[in-house]
């Protein structure tokens, strides 16, 4: 609404203040009003000519414009009043319910001592990060799962604590060395809090290492050990699956199981010096895994009762296992000195493979265990029995080892005995070059 008032009209008064020189201070000739904005128009005379001027503030600065025509001055004053009113719109047009909402919001924030603008900014950012989920439900999840945590630990911190704990618990050196190798690399890749590491992060890290599927599975097991340890230390939520537990092992094809023939096994055993016989004979005729054999003590080899006892702490499956001593295995180990560790040091495994190379034989991974299981199931015709002896499941035995050998080959395998002069064998092994020569 536009209102124009004249200074001489009824309802208006002139200012009675006097100027410093005693003259009366004249007010505006008229005022142009639009909304709550008022622009005064002044009239002045000079040398018989009448002028009309506008005086107003815009952007904090005083403006003055002069016109010779009253109509032009009134039109300009109206335009200026409209512009001023539009600039004040966000202040003057607050509706009552909006004013009530503002007052209520400031009352709610009074106890937190947080400005309204800061609270709104924080709320908007949180809703965006939460993909639009309710902040109340997210806070409830936080109180349930994260608030009970003892501390927010980083991956390197937990790796160091885990290795120290395993050392105190008496874990084997090879196991601790494997954990240290894998988890040191993992900590370097994820130096932040373990809470922030996701299953996708772990999967991407494993796939980026350019290692075999079996190596990836072994490394995943080490990472699972770390996260289980973190949960036991109350650094991860107890009710939730850890990030590595959400991943599955890579399926490895086991269709191509490689075994020694009885003739090849006899060749390598008959050339072996006495200190290599335990690895070869026990591996070939009992099927014990090499890692289990490394933990085995001669006190567990009971020739009187005819079995090898693999305790739960020594077995890969963490369950006690009884392995029968076959007649030919007895013939191989009975003449040996049976005190202390069966495998006195890890270097003997490298010497065994060097012996195989000297005999022009290849040494595939787990060749002795694969050979034992294949010939044993051909001999006893029972996957359940072989599974108990080998520490495997009957399904695995049946799927991968059935019908790889005949009964005749099995009979020949378990009839391999020491040759005359067997215990005088020698083998010149160079540990630096990892090569050896037969006499």
The CATH number for 234's domain is 1.10.150
Output the pLDDT for position 229: 92
Output the pLDDT for position 415: 96
Q: Are residues 111 and 54 in the same domain?
A: no
Q: Are residues 85 and 102 in the same domain?
A: no
Burial of 162 (0-12, 13-18, 19+ CB in 10 A): buried
Instruction: Classify residue 20: in a domain, yes or no.
Output: yes
Given 193, 215, 246, the domain boundary residue is: 246
Q: Are residues 279 and 425 in the same domain?
A: yes
Closest C-alpha among 287, 273, 285, 389 to residue 335: 273
Q: In whole angstroms, give the CA distance from residue 430 to residue 309.
A: 34
Instruction: Classify residue 252: in a domain, yes or no.
Output: no
Q: Are residues 235 and 300 in the same domain?
A: no
Closest C-alpha among 281, 280, 271 to residue 427: 271
Q: Phi first, then psi: what are they for 43, rounded to 5°?
A: -115, 130
Q: In whole angstroms, give the CA distance from residue 280 to residue 148.
A: 53
Note whether 342 and 301 are within 8 A (CB): yes
Closest C-alpha among 284, 272, 264, 375 to residue 328: 284
In angstroms, what CA-CA distances link 317 with 187, 291, 294, 310, 314? Answer: 27, 12, 15, 11, 9
Q: Are residues 219 and 118 in the same domain?
A: no
Q: Are residues 53 and 159 in the same domain?
A: no
Q: In whole angstroms, give the CA distance from residue 191 to residue 60.
A: 54
The CATH number for 332's domain is 1.10.443.10
Given 35, 58, 90, the domain boundary residue is: 90
Q: Are residues 185 and 311 in the same domain?
A: no
Helices (H), 169-276: 173-189, 199-207, 213-232, 262-271
Output the pLDDT for position 8: 39
Instruction: Classify residue 123: in a domain, yes or no.
Output: yes
Q: Phi first, then psi: what are they for 49, rounded to 5°?
A: -110, 140
Q: In whole angstroms, give the CA distance from residue 173 to residue 160.
A: 16
Given 214, 246, 278, the domain boundary residue is: 246
Each residue's pLDDT expressed in tens, for the chain with a length of 439 residues = 555 555 433 333 334 444 455 455 567 889 888 877 888 899 988 888 899 998 877 666 778 889 989 999 899 888 888 887 776 555 445 566 777 787 788 888 888 777 887 878 877 777 777 666 676 666 665 555 555 555 788 999 999 999 999 999 988 787 889 999 999 999 999 999 998 899 999 999 999 998 888 889 999 999 999 999 998 888 888 777 889 999 988 876 655 678 899 999 999 999 999 999 999 999 999 989 888 898 899 999 999 999 999 876 555 555 678 899 999 999 999 999 999 999 998 899 999 999 999 999 999 888 999 999 899 989 988 888 888 888 887 787 777 777 678 999 999 999 999 999 999 999 999 999 989 999 8
Q: Are residues 39 and 161 in the same domain?
A: no
Instruction: Classify residue 425: in a domain, yes or no.
Output: yes
* Number of domains forming the structure of the chain: 4
- pLDDT, tens digit (0-9, with 9 covering 90-100), for 35-69: 778 888 999 888 888 999 988 776 667 788 899 89
Q: What is the pTM of this model?
A: 0.52
Query: Using N-to-C axis directions, what is the helix angle for 367-380 and 383-390, rounded to 10°?
Result: 150
- Going by the DSSP 8-state scheme, the letter that residue 418 receives in this structure is P
Instruction: Classify residue 255: in a domain, yes or no.
Output: no
Instruction: Classify residue 383: in a domain, yes or no.
Output: yes
Output the pLDDT for position 103: 79
Joined together, the tokens standing for residue 241 give: 């699956």
Q: Are residues 271 and 382 in the same domain?
A: yes
Q: Are residues 287 and 184 in the same domain?
A: no
Instruction: Classify residue 285: in a domain, yes or no.
Output: yes
Joined together, the tokens standing for residue 27 give: 């007010």
Q: 34 is in which domain, residue-wise?
A: 2-90
Sign of the C-alpha dihedral, residues 364, 365, 368, 369? negative
Closest C-alpha among 365, 372, 417 to residue 392: 372
Output the pLDDT for position 19: 47
Instruction: Classify residue 141: in a domain, yes or no.
Output: no
Partnered with residue 61 across adjacent β-strands are 58
Q: Are residues 188 and 228 in the same domain?
A: yes
Q: Are residues 312 and 425 in the same domain?
A: yes
3-class secondary structure, 438: coil
């Amino acid at each position: 609404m536009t209102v124009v008032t004249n200074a001489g009209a009824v309802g208006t008064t002139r200012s009675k203040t006097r100027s410093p020189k005693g003259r009366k201070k004249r007010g505006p000739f008229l005022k142009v009003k639009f909304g709550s904005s008022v622009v005064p128009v002044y009239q002045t005379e000079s040398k018989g000519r009448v002028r009309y001027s506008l005086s107003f503030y815009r952007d904090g600065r005083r403006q003055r414009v002069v016109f010779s025509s009253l109509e032009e001055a009134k039109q300009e004053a109206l335009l200026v009043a409209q512009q001023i009113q539009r600039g004040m719109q966000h202040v003057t047009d607050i509706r009552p319910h909006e004013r009530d909402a503002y007052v209520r919001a400031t009352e709610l924030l009074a106890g937190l001592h947080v400005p309204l603008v800061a609270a709104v900014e924080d709320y908007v950012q949180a809703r965006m990060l939460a993909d639009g989920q309710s902040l109340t439900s997210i806070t409830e999840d936080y109180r349930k799962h994260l608030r009970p945590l003892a501390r927010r630990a980083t991956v390197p911190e937990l790796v160091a604590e885990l290795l120290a704990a395993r050392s105190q618990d008496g874990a084997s050196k090879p196991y601790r060395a494997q954990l240290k190798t894998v988890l040191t690399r993992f900590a370097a890749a994820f130096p932040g809090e373990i809470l922030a590491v996701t299953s996708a992060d772990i999967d991407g890290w494993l796939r980026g290492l350019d290692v075999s599927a079996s190596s990836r599975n072994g490394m995943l097991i080490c990472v699972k050990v770390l996260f289980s340890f973190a949960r036991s230390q109350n650094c991860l939520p107890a009710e939730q699956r850890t990030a590595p537990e959400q991943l599955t092992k890579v399926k490895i094809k086991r269709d191509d199981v490689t075994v020694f023939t009885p003739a090849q096994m006899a060749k390598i055993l008959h050339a072996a010096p006495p200190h290599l016989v335990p690895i070869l004979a026990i591996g070939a005729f009992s099927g014990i895994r090499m890692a289990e054999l490394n933990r085995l003590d001669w006190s567990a080899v009971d020739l009187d009762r005819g079995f090898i006892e693999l305790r739960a702490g020594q077995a890969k499956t963490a369950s006690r296992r009884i392995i029968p001593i076959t007649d030919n295995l007895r013939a191989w180990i009975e003449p040996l000195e049976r005190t202390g560790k069966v495998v006195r040091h890890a270097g003997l495994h490298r010497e065994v493979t060097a012996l195989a190379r000297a005999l022009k034989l290849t040494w595939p991974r787990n060749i002795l265990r694969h050979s034992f299981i294949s010939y044993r199931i051909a001999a006893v015709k029972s996957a359940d029995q072989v599974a108990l002896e080998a520490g495997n499941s009957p399904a695995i035995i049946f799927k991968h080892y059935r019908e790889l050998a005949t009964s005749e080959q099995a009979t020949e395998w378990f009839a391999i005995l020491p040759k005359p002069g067997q215990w005088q064998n020698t083998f010149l092994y160079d540990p630096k070059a990892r090569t050896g020569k037969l006499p």
